[in-house]
Structure 1
Amino acid sequence: MPPTPAPPLRTGERPGRNDRPSEDRILATPSGDAFVVLDGVSTLSDDRPRGGWYADTLGKLIVDRLAAGSGAELTEVLHDAISAITREYALTPGASPAATVSIVRLGDTVVEAAVLGDSPVVVIGRGGQVQALTDTRLAELVETRPQAAEYRRRLAAGSGFDTRHHQLLVELRDAQMGWINRPGGYWVAEAVPEAGRQAVTAIWPRAEIAQILAATDGVSSAVDDYGLYSWTELATACRADGPQAVVDAVHRAEEQDADARVWARYKQSDDKALVHLDLAPGVTSAG
């Protein structure tokens, strides 16, 4: 039998700020049977953001490997791609730009996913059930730091994104760097290839899935932090209006809470990338 064709990939993207390009990336194989979503992270010392370069370059390396069709485990694909970018550009752990990575690969009978960092993959079942593949290791680490509680408390009191807010974020970033890509800490694509093997993974029967979503945290915050949507509602909105409309709606909501009093967050508006894949257009998921 010929392979099951991939449905059209629908996407939405938007930079968090108008004065700098987005560092999020969405890339797919030519056949559309696999795609990757990345959220680039620059180092604090960068005069201009390199996270977008890293996300773009790593994403292409991942897609090339997926398109080759070796059938390798997604964690090994990611490990090999991080090895390649680290070697080719002589990247140094702790001084390299980085990226979260989410990979989805469609097979004839299964759907595979791998997530490294806070860019989740969510599947909506044909019966309406929601399964989210998330990597919460960094979020759990951040929540233990007193700076996180302080910046949220200050924002709720109306401080806005002032100098002290920036200082708190720098302190949080410095604390995080002590735990990057090490056991007991958190893992992200950077200059340590082992991180690829630490991605969280899932495999679902393709016949049971109606829709697939993959998003950077600039979009997933609309569900996890703002409560603007449930995942089912977000998928429904993607079906009805398209993922770009959803991305724009989240951005408008953040603009209406410009000083972050309602939704405490580390910056006014983050870069956003969203993928929606409809595997069963005629099926209406309840829930």
Structure 2
Amino acid sequence: MPGFAIAEAAGVGPDGHDRPSEDVVVVLPDAVVLLDGASTSRTDLPSGGAYARELAAQVAARLSAAPELDLAHLLAGAIRSVARHNGFAPGESPSSTVSIVRWDERIVEALVLADSPVAVFLADAVEVVADDRLRHLRPGSYRDRLSAGGGFGHDHVTALRESAERVARFRNQEDGFWVAEAVPAAAHRAMRASWHRADVRTVLMATDGVSCGVDDYGVFDSWDGMRALAAAEGPQAVLAAVRAAESSDPDGRRWPRAKPHDDQALVQIDFE
């Protein structure tokens, strides 16, 4: 079994108030599941974190009971089960990202649905499995207001809610983005990759509260830089470096974002 190191930290809500993390990590003997429940202002539905926890349990049960199943089929079944159990319908359901890394004696495979990327370090390269469709979909974004100096606060929460309502129209649509919600077919739109296990050295799995350190903030010049810090000081040091960058931009002007601090989860899997 490979070695593991996991770091997690709760962020804050869009209003800046503390609340429980909506990230979920499940470690199995031959797989890791990482989910990031989507925050929502709706009070008539369970939270994204509650949805992520229930979906993670369903995915983990299927991975354990039927390890031979294709990952997309497995995830589709889990999404269907959660939707049926709760009476969720498309557009009337919480949602979550899903990343799965699974391995056996020969193969390491990854599935990424929405923005929780997986970085796989080989002997002489790093390959990133990322789903950036949501990143490129920002109609009427609240980010414009932050860039102009609007800051976080009541008006930000209002702008974020309005932006989320516009983006929701593109959820699980051909011209939009795909995420775990109440559409099982979304699982088959996930990004996929696999490698010979003998070629894999390390895998990093991150929610976007951590991957932003590479993708947005420039805290790390590459995934290699993140891996180096995690190897030297542990994954908690990676989370702290990202959080320090956010603290240096308290109004979100430099790095417009939904919350002053997002939830963070980072999993380091060492195959060497």
The answer to whether the 8 A contact 1:209-1:279 is kept is: yes
Choose from 255, 260, 264 the match for 1:268: 260
Partner residue in 1 for 2:134: 138
Choose from 132, 137, 141 the match for 1:147: 141
> Does 2:230 align with 1:238?
yes
Partner residue in 1 for 2:34: 37
Choose from 240, 256, 259 the match for 2:251: 259
Query: CA-to-partner distance for each residue in 1:60-93, whole Å, 9 max, x for gaps?
Result: 1101111124311111111010011111121122
Partner residue in 2 for 1:277: 269
Alignment of 1:193-232 (within 5 A): 193-229=184-220, 230-232=222-224
* Distance of 1:42 and 1:152 partners within structure 2: 19
The answer to whether the 8 A contact 1:124-1:210 is kept is: yes
Alignment of 1:17-56 (within 5 A): 17=12, 19-29=18-28, 31=29, 33-46=30-43, 50-56=47-53
| SS state at 1:211 partner | strand
| SS state at 2:229 partner | helix
Deviation of the 1:199 alpha carbon: 0.9
Partner residue in 2 for 1:285: none
Which 10-residue stretch deviates more, 259-268 or 83-92? 259-268
Which 10-residue stretch deviates more, 61-70 or 224-233? 61-70
Alignment of 1:93-132 (within 5 A): 93-127=90-124, 129-132=125-128
Deviation of the 1:165 alpha carbon: 2.8
* Distance of 2:164 and 2:27 partners within structure 1: 31
Deviation of the 1:173 alpha carbon: 0.8
Alignment of 1:72-83 (within 5 A): 72-83=69-80
Which 10-residue stretch deviates more, 258-267 or 233-242? 258-267
Deviation of the 1:164 alpha carbon: 3.6
TM-score (norm 1): 0.88
| SS state at 2:150 partner | coil
* Distance of 2:260 and 2:46 partners within structure 1: 18
Q: How many residues align?
A: 267
Deviation of the 1:49 alpha carbon: 6.3
Query: CA-to-partner distance for each residue in 1:185-221, whole Å, 9 max, x for gaps?
Result: 1111011111111111111121111110000000000
Query: CA-to-partner distance for each residue in 1:152-176, whole Å, 9 max, x for gaps?
Result: 431xxx3311444333322221111
The answer to whether the 8 A contact 2:3-2:271 is kept is: no
The answer to whether the 8 A contact 1:258-1:268 is kept is: yes
> Does 2:166 align with 1:175?
yes
Query: CA-to-partner distance for each residue in 1:108-156, whole Å, 9 max, x for gaps?
Result: 11111001000001111112x11110111111222xx2435623431xx
The answer to whether the 8 A contact 1:42-1:49 is kept is: no
| Aligned Cα root-mean-square deviation (Å) | 1.7
Choose from 55, 62, 65 the match for 1:58: 55
Q: How high is the sequence identity, in percent, across the aligned residues?
A: 43
Which 10-residue stretch deviates more, 42-51 or 101-110? 42-51
TM-score (norm 2): 0.92
> How has the CA–CA distance of structure 1 residues 61 and 49 changed in structure 2, closer, same or farther, with 3 Å as cutoff?
closer
The answer to whether the 8 A contact 2:36-2:98 is kept is: yes
